[in-house]
Amino acid sequence: MINKIYKKCTVLLAVVLLATSCTKLDFKPTDLILPELAFRNISDINLGVIGAYAPIDYSTLSYSSIVSDEAIYPQENTVGNSDAYRWLYNGSNGSVTGLYYTNYQAIDRVNRVLEAMGKLTFTGTDVALGDRYKGELLALRAYLHFELLRAYASSYQTGALGVTYMTKSAVIYPARETFEAVISKAKIDLIAAKDLIPTTFTDKTRITKTAVSAIQARIALYEKNWSDAITYSTEVITALPLATKVQFPGIWTDANDAEVAWKLKRVSGDSRTGDFYFRQSGGVVLYAPSFKLIAAYDQTNDIRFVPYIKFDNTRTGTKSKYLVNKYIGGSSATPGLADVKQFRTGEMYLIRAEARAETTGDAAGDINTLRAARINGYVNATFADKTALINAIYEERYKELAFEGHRFFDLKRRNLSIERTPADVAATQSALTLTPAQAQYALPIPATELSVNKNMVQNPKY
């Protein structure tokens, strides 16, 4: 499994990093592996690819949950950091800047392995394997940059401050690129990746051809390239049908991977996704589902409610009776150890619905298909106009994709304020509304990055 050999991969990549510090010396070091020797064959390349996957975690979903109207900071949480929930963060707050370092670390690993591959010659069956590894790396690079763009772009508009798209491992003082420049480079990497990854490769813990389509669909949504959004989401929908009502709860206990295009596999010893919301030691709810989100569901007929949200009436006093159930995991011995679902067919239906609402207007079919798969006794709805369609799509994204890392960015895509309810802010005395005019509507570039990179600039109003 990917994570079981993480340490080996980390050592391999670490020695490459260390070697770069010796390039000005006249002698070769004897206590580490030189870059040209770190990757000698196809097996070494595979370890490098695995090492590039390894840093990716649940940061995006955690940020989106606590900064949006998806989760609340309950009174029993006396150990967490409330700055993100209260919208009091700046570039010095690790609660909203950690993803910046994590993703660029992974990107650097991607670029180092790609550079090493360019110096090797493969023969026989290794040629096709090398092509697949290169495809995975290019797709990873695109995905990682796009997630950085979602988090740290000043806005999702042409000319807006984006992030730096790194295609080499050593660039001095890189500057921020525009939103559209990052999108363009990610698309180029994904097109190349798709040609290299064979259809026969179906390991959902790594990036497959279908997963590339899913990444392309999400990027097209943010680019407002509605034609591409329809094309790529349809590719995923065709390859991966929606989970049945029987299958759906098992996705979240890792009993099956129905409709999952790509997931981050988690094994014993890995950080537990569920621990972000519920600390097993002491039984403390760190972040609970918002009352606003809870009220959005038909708790009787919507099959998403129980897998997503747990009600525990035995928790009394100031303890939250509601818990995030989505990352409970599949074993009582390791509660909270759950695979992170990166892309699902449910998201693809909503991407296609939004793209159709913006173009042909024929989005009702996708909305109704998804709802019928998730709600017992559902009767198809009709929608009066485009505004009604878009509102329905956003309401469905709120419910379908809860705690998967979308809500904050969805509101930002439409330039909508984040609006909480009084009940949801009572514990921490947070503000009720975060508007697009406020600095915190875009996450800040880390202060450390600004201090060491003379070409880096902060998002406006910080």
Q: Is 73 part of a structural domain of the chain?
A: no
- Confidence at residue 245, expressed as pLDDT on a 0 to 100 scale: 98
pLDDT over 70, % of the chain: 92
The whole-number average pLDDT for the span 24-40 is 57
- Any residues with CB less than 8 A from the CB of 410 and at least 6 apart, and which? 394, 397, 398
Q: Is the pLDDT of residue 30 over 60?
A: no
Q: Is the pLDDT of residue 17 over 50?
A: no
In the chain, the amino acid numbered 88 is: L
Q: Is 328 part of a structural domain of the chain?
A: yes
Q: Is 243 exposed, middle or buried (0-12, 13-18, 19+ CB in 10 A)?
A: buried
Contact 359, 312 (CB under 8 A): no
Q: Is 41 part of a structural domain of the chain?
A: no
- How many distinct helices (H) and strands (E) make up the chain? 18, 10
Query: Is the domain of 391 the same as that of 254?
Result: yes
The whole-number average pLDDT for the span 314-325 is 95
Query: Is the domain of 109 the same as that of 194?
Result: yes
Q: Is 361 part of a structural domain of the chain?
A: yes
Q: Is 6 part of a structural domain of the chain?
A: no
Q: How confident is the model at residue 34 (pLDDT cuts 50, 70, 90)?
A: low
Query: Is the domain of 287 the same as that of 406?
Result: yes
Exposure letters 361-373 (e unless 16+ CB within 10 A, then b): eebbebbbebbeb
Query: Is the domain of 442 the same as that of 411?
Result: no
Q: Is the pLDDT of residue 164 over 50?
A: yes
Query: CATH number, domain at 193?
Result: 1.25.40.390
Residue range 131-144, pLDDT digits in tens? 999 999 999 999 99
- Confidence at residue 13, expressed as pLDDT on a 0 to 100 scale: 45
Question: Which tokens in the block code for residue 100?
Answer: 């910046």
Residues in the chain: 462
Query: What does residue 376 show for φ and ψ, rounded to 5 degrees?
Result: -65, 135
Query: Is the domain of 183 the same as that of 284?
Result: no
Q: Considering only the C-alpha atoms of the chain, give the largest distance between any 2 of them, rounded to a whole number of Å.
A: 76
Query: Is the domain of 141 the same as that of 186?
Result: yes
Q: Is the pLDDT of residue 24 over 60?
A: no
More confident residue, 121 or 35: 121
Question: What is the residue range of 247's domain?
Answer: 243-416
Residue range 257-304, pLDDT digits in tens? 999 999 999 888 888 899 999 988 789 999 999 999 999 999 999 999
- Confidence at residue 74, expressed as pLDDT on a 0 to 100 scale: 93
Query: Is the domain of 103 the same as that of 143?
Result: yes
Exposure letters 34-51 (e unless 16+ CB within 10 A, then b): ebeebbeebebbbbbbbb
Query: Is the domain of 172 the same as that of 297?
Result: no
- Distance, CA of 427 to CA of 285 (rounded, Å): 13
- Confidence at residue 79, expressed as pLDDT on a 0 to 100 scale: 83
Number of structural domains found in the chain: 2
Query: Is the domain of 289 the same as that of 377?
Result: yes
- Coil vs helix vs strand at 314: coil
- Chain position carrying tokens 């304020």: 417
Residue range 404-448, pLDDT digits in tens? 999 999 999 999 999 999 999 988 889 999 999 999 999 999 999
Angle subtended at Cα 98 by Cα 93 and Cα 104, rounded to the nearest 5 degrees: 135
Q: Is 422 part of a structural domain of the chain?
A: no
Picking from 2, 1, 131, the residue whose alpha carbon sits closest to that of residue 54 is 2
Query: Is the domain of 391 the same as that of 283?
Result: yes
- Confidence at residue 169, expressed as pLDDT on a 0 to 100 scale: 86
Q: Is 42 part of a structural domain of the chain?
A: no
Secondary structure (H, E, C), 386-416: HHHHHHHHHHHHHHHCCCCCCHHHHHHHCCC
Q: Among the listed ranges 27-36, 169-178, 314-323, 364-373, which one has the minimum average pLDDT value? A: 27-36
Q: Is 438 part of a structural domain of the chain?
A: yes
Q: Is the pLDDT of residue 9 over 50?
A: no
Picking from 104, 107, 133, 119, the residue whose alpha carbon sits closest to that of residue 35 is 119
Residue range 208-228, pLDDT digits in tens? 999 999 999 999 999 999 999
Query: Is the domain of 309 the same as that of 188?
Result: no
Contacts 24+ apart (CB under 8 A), 419-423: 419/69, 420/69, 420/72, 420/290, 420/292, 421/69, 421/290, 421/291, 421/292, 423/291
Q: How confident is the model at residue 33 (pLDDT cuts 50, 70, 90)?
A: low
Q: Is 355 exposed, middle or buried (0-12, 13-18, 19+ CB in 10 A)?
A: buried
- Distance, CA of 310 to CA of 290 (rounded, Å): 12
Q: Is the pLDDT of residue 191 over 90?
A: yes
pLDDT over 90, % of the chain: 84
Query: Is the domain of 133 the same as that of 275?
Result: no
- Confidence at residue 25, expressed as pLDDT on a 0 to 100 scale: 35
- Coil vs helix vs strand at 437: coil
Residue range 61-106, pLDDT digits in tens? 999 999 999 999 999 998 877 999 999 999 999 999 999 999 999 9
Angle subtended at Cα 218 by Cα 416 and Cα 112, rounded to the nearest 5 degrees: 120
More confident residue, 34 or 17: 34
